[in-house]
Amino acid sequence: MKKVVHFLTLTVFIAAICLDAKAQKTVVQYDSILAKKLNADEYGMKKYIMVLLKMGSATNVEKAKSDSLFAGHMTNINRLAAEGKLVVAGPFFKNDKYRGLFIFNGSSIEEGRKLVETDPAIKANLLEPEIFLWYGSAALGETLDIHKRIEKKSH
């Protein structure tokens, strides 16, 4: 019985060494060109502007007007993304307060205010922005390029 235990222990030990060696070989190399392109700091991170979109105070807007404003909202999102200002955007699932999220390339609350002021749904008070500075992975800058390769339909 002792021989079996020693054999199993030795086998597990050898397997652990092999797995560790394999893990060390698969370490991804630092890409200074990509880091510079994405404005990454030494941790691969950067500052963003995060906007939480809440339900606005304009609650009695006619459906046709609301539909038109939200069509403008989507057009604005696409424009900001094409200009490289918008990194990520999307709606939240149904809840009582928050409607969606924007993450902008930028580094100040004032810059965030200027960007959200271009949104027709925000101007009409259908949505109200809460703006924060956020420190996140600079890799988010690649999200939209990846998204283009996986979307079958666009808005």
Rounded CA-CA distance 41/107 in Å is: 14
Predicted confidence (pLDDT) per residue in 10-21, tens digit:
444 455 555 555
Whether 99 and 51 have beta carbons less than 8 Å apart is answered as no
Q: With the CA atoms of 71, 75, 78 and 84 taken in that order, what torsion angle do they form, in degrees rounded to the nearest 10? A: -140
- pLDDT computed for residue 21 by the predictor: 55
**Quick one: pLDDT band at residue 8, thresholds 50, 70, 90?**
very low
CATH of domain 36-150: 3.30.70.1060
Domain boundaries, the chain: 2-28, 36-150
* pLDDT tier for residue 6 given thresholds of 50, 70 and 90: very low
Give the model confidence (pLDDT) of 29-61 as tens digits.
898 999 999 999 999 999 999 999 999 888 888
Question: What span, in angstroms and rounded, lies between the C-alpha atoms of 31 and 43?
Answer: 12
Smallest Cα–Cα separation from 77: which of 93, 110, 99, 107? Answer: 99
Question: Where are any strands of DSSP class E within the chain?
Answer: 45-55, 86-91, 98-105, 127-137
Question: Could you give phi then psi for residue 90, rounded to 5 degrees?
Answer: 175, 155
Write the pLDDT tens digit of every residue in 85-127: 999 999 999 888 999 999 999 999 999 999 999 999 999 999 9
Q: 89 burial class (0-12, 13-18, 19+ CB within 10 angstroms)?
A: buried
